[in-house]
Chains A and B, each alone.
Chain A
Amino acid sequence: MTVDPRAPERAPIRTDLTWLRHRSRVTAGAGSGSRSGSAGPGRSGSALADFVAGRSTARRPAAASRPAPAPATPEPARPVPARLAPAPAAAASSSLDLSSPLDLSAPAAPPTTPTAAPPTVPPSSGSLDLFGPSAPAASPSPSSPPSAPRGAGSSSLDLSEPLTPPAVPARAPSGSTSLDLGGPAAPPPPRPTGSTSLDLGPTPLRTPSSAPSSAPPGTGPAPGSATSLDLSGAAAPPAAPATPAAPSMRRPASTWQEPRTTPGVPTTLNPRRPTVTLTRVQSGVGTLTFEAIVTAAAGDLRLGCAYQLRSGLASTVAHHTGRRYAPPGQTRRPLIVASRQDYERIAVDLRQVTDLERLVVYGFSGNGQPLQWGGTLIATTFGGDRIEMPIELAPAPAVAVLASVYNIGGELIIRSEMDLVGSTVREACRGYGFERISWVDDTTPID
């Protein structure tokens, strides 16, 4: 579900792609559903996972931060109106609907010219004529800079050009999708109309949670170019204010794909690329192991694992404390086993992965002396793919959550956490939402 929001990031690229982006949005919503169909619960779970974890994933934070930049641009939109006006006239010759929308935007133009563009895009074929007219509009210097599209000429690209100029400033924020205008216009008024694709873009920005749900159903965009036109017009007035909100959307890229492992090449997780998603096959065959590869220089680093099962059961395992099997006392067929060979190891029986909801792997000092940390936590799939998570933390007498694993629709998402979260195992677990665990003391859960 998160995929859609990312589209904004690519906003700068506007070209032919703008049109594609629109489509991608819509499909994204549908896509998530299809996935779930193949294997159980849908992707929606990923958001849940983040939420449950009580931490914002990289995606969310980014989105929030980015928005700010975009807002500043409201003014730029004004110039656009003039351009738009010319375009409408030309448009009149061809697809009436398109042209009409353009006109609307023109009036509105003062606030947000971008809107005009959005309508054109969706219409596609019909809009062709419009584009022609629009091209002239493009000539106005303002649009040219932002729009790479120029080359496009008659095609939809042209449209984007005119639009883009205005949009660019404001757009960035809305970025969610096709730069098309939709971004600028959408933010403000679009929601109400909601019917068009343009609207969808903006709405998501404002209210991420609501937007996704609406968007998919929102097939509305398809309804017709005519609607989009209306939207643009409406949007125009409010657009200026809305733009600020739009920025938040930026992050998401419509084409975002989940990071996967690569056979034969270790996958390194770091703050810029903190997660990797195992396929359902990787998540359900053999054993998934975590090993802390460290030297004595790091101190007496030990591993533990806090887990939560579908049944609601939550507890911990750690070889150092003698709690080696999960669920507690399940030695015949454990789901998780903590052991120590060359290094501390946590092994997850993937035959039982459907019973697993989530787990975190934490590191702590076995001898009570402060840890220097260091080394690498390595997760290994049954097929031998390695996921490396460098342990880079400041020396501290604390417990650190090193990695988390969430079972989302049958796919395990491994995330490098590297989070000094508390001074005891109990604090670390509570910090990651394991409220179901009751404690005997700071390191021992009640079985």
Chain B
Amino acid sequence: MTPALQRGANVALTQEIPSLTGVVLGVRWNAGAEQALSDNLVAATILCDRDNRAPSDRYFVFFNQIASPEESVTRRSELLGDDREQIEVDLGDVPAEIQRIVVALYVNDGPGARRTLGQLRDCFIRVLDQRGGQELVRSENLAPALRSETAILLGELYRHTTGWKFKVIGQGYDNGIAGIAADYGVPL
């Protein structure tokens, strides 16, 4: 078990592991008895350019769009381990203009009763080596700080002069995925 990364902490992935060619971003949560909340949670991955904007709607990867156009980022349909969602990233295939890859978790705003992330007991993001599945990094439990939020930025992969780094974000949004989409220029 690796030490948990606090909000805002980062790690230089490819600098520490030069042989790293791809990672799996695992998202896990525990909503307790709130099955309705768990059913309506969605993990979404946004690929952003230098201006922190998604080049187009095609760079929003989630259950209804399971890969970015060049397929460097894909959503796994077959999960390994206990994660609720897994996103594979082939670091070498990520287009040069993509500077960061952000993972969000949000409550879908459906016709049913409104839920919030405050009902989550646990919420983690972790990074696995794509080859072998070894856990490289794990975030602290991000759930305790959540109240009325309906979306949260869990973490991000981003390019640095030393290579790819990973950072835990943990920033909540009261206005859900609409707020995140607005921040990253994803057309809804």
Binding site for B on A (CB under 8 A): 37-40, 263, 279-287, 332-334, 336-337, 339, 347-354, 381-384, 410
Contact = CB atoms under 8 A, between A and B. Distances in A.
14 contacts: A39-B66, A279-B187, A281-B57, A281-B64, A281-B187, A282-B188, A285-B108, A285-B188, A287-B110, A332-B112, A349-B112, A350-B108, A383-B181, A410-B64
B188 A381 contact: yes
Given A280-B64, A410-B65, A349 B108 contact: yes
A382 B178 contact: yes
A383 B176 CA distance: 12
Contacts of A334: 111-112
A281 B111 contact: no
B80 to A, nearest CB: 21
Contacts of A281: 57, 60, 62, 64-65, 186-188
B15 to A, nearest CB: 31
Closest 4 CB pairs of A and B: A284-B64, A383-B188, A351-B108, A349-B110
Contacts of B108: 285-286, 349-351
B65 A280 contact: yes
A383 B186 CA distance: 10
Interface of B: 36, 39-40, 42, 57-58, 60, 62-69, 71, 108-112, 177-178, 181, 186-188
Contacts, number: 92
B27 to A, nearest CB: 16
A38 B67 contact: yes
A332 B188 contact: no
A40 B112 contact: no
A347 B40 CA distance: 16
Given A281-B57, A332-B36, A337 B111 contact: yes
Is chain A's binding surface mostly helix, strand, loop or mixed?
loop
B71 A37 contact: yes
A351 B177 CA distance: 13
A299 to B, nearest CB: 27
A290 to B, nearest CB: 12
Given A282-B57, A284-B63, A333-B36, 9 more contacts: A38-B71, A279-B187, A281-B57, A281-B188, A284-B64, A284-B65, A286-B109, A286-B188, A333-B39
B40 A351 contact: yes
B110 A351 contact: yes
Contacts of B65: 38-39, 280-281, 284, 410
A37 B70 CA distance: 10
Nearest to A411: B64
Contacts of B57: 279-282
Contact of B109 (A39, A40, A352, A382): A382
A286 B66 contact: no
Contact of A383 (B36, B68, B69, B187): B187
A383 B67 contact: no
Contacts of A337: 111-112
A347 B64 contact: no
A293 B112 CA distance: 23
A284 B58 CA distance: 13
Contacts of B178: 286, 382-383
Contacts of A38: 58, 65-69, 71
A351 B60 CA distance: 15
A353 B64 contact: yes
Contacts of A333: 36, 39-40, 112
Nearest to B44: A285
Between A37, A38, A285, A334, the greatest number of chain B beta carbons within 10 A of the residue's beta carbon is seen for: A285
B64 A283 contact: yes
Contacts of B63: 284, 354
A353 B62 CA distance: 12
A348 B186 CA distance: 21
B67 A285 contact: no
B56 to A, nearest CB: 9
Contacts of B69: 38
A305 B101 CA distance: 39
Nearest to B64: A284
A354 B65 CA distance: 11
B103 to A, nearest CB: 16
Contacts of A332: 36, 112
Contact of B110 (A37, A280, A286, A354): A286
B145 to A, nearest CB: 25
B129 to A, nearest CB: 25
B42 A351 contact: yes
Given A280-B57, A280-B65, A285 B112 contact: no
A285 B187 CA distance: 11
Contacts of A349: 108, 110-112
